[in-house]
């Protein structure tokens, strides 16, 4: 119900987001969009898409927001990317601003993992926005992890040999891997 209320106050999607409309977004009291740094965390294999999130980055810049595109290697495991995100968040927070993480797909999982694995980030992170993040696991990743033919063809040959990635970037998104990670490293909901 609250979501629908907020959504109805925003301009239609074909309109450009204005500073006035942005003020309607549900930020914590005394925090405005311009008070934060924004770290965009890309999803799996998106390093192969040169214009990925380009429009979003340009819109953030148009609004005068401090936006950075994460330098994670999108074809690497969750823990590797979480460590990279930790470094980036700490670097961005040196400006005195808190960081809003915006993760798409696997990038949302990587960003949430950074907060779970490195609790010192909680004081630096104002928010985590997850867009299509498979936090509970991905059916495709699960199938790839549990089917020998698909695992050897898609992961070992295509991902590792052709794209020079790591199969664990996908295996980390299987249902069992995600559930195990969440059990071992719960997300600090009360702190971010």
Q: Which two tokens stand for residue 35?
A: 């008070």
* Higher per-residue confidence, 23 vs 88: 88
- Class of residue 40 by CB neighbours under 10 A (exposed 0-12, middle 13-18, buried 19+): buried
User: In sequence order, what are the residues at sequence separation of 6 or more whose Cβ sits closer than 8 angstroms to the Cβ of residue 21?
Assistant: 9, 10, 11
Predicted TM-score of the model (pTM): 0.86
**Residue 39: per-residue pLDDT:** 98
Tokens found for residue 42: 């890309």
- What percent of the chain has a predicted confidence (pLDDT) above 70? 92
């Amino acid at each position: 119900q609250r979501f629908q209320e907020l959504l109805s106050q925003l301009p239609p999607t074909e309109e450009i987001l204005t500073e006035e409309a942005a003020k309607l977004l549900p930020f914590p009291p005394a925090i405005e969009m311009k008070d934060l740094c924004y770290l965009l965390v890309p999803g799996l294999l998106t390093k192969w898409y040169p214009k990925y999130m380009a429009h979003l980055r340009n819109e953030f810049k148009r609004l005068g927001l401090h936006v950075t595109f994460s330098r994670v290697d999108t074809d690497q495991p969750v823990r590797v990317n979480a460590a990279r995100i930790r470094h980036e968040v700490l670097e961005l927070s040196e400006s005195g601003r808190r960081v809003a993480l915006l993760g798409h797909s696997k990038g949302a999982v990587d960003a949430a993992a950074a907060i779970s694995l490195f609790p010192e980030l909680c004081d630096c992170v104002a928010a985590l926005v997850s867009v299509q993040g498979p936090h509970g696991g991905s059916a495709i990743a699960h199938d790839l992890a549990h089917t020998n033919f698909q695992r050897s063809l898609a992961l070992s040959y295509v991902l590792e040999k052709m794209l020079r990635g790591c199969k664990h970037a996908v295996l980390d998104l299987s249902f069992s891997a995600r559930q195990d990670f969440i059990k071992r490293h719960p997300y600090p909901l009360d702190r971010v």
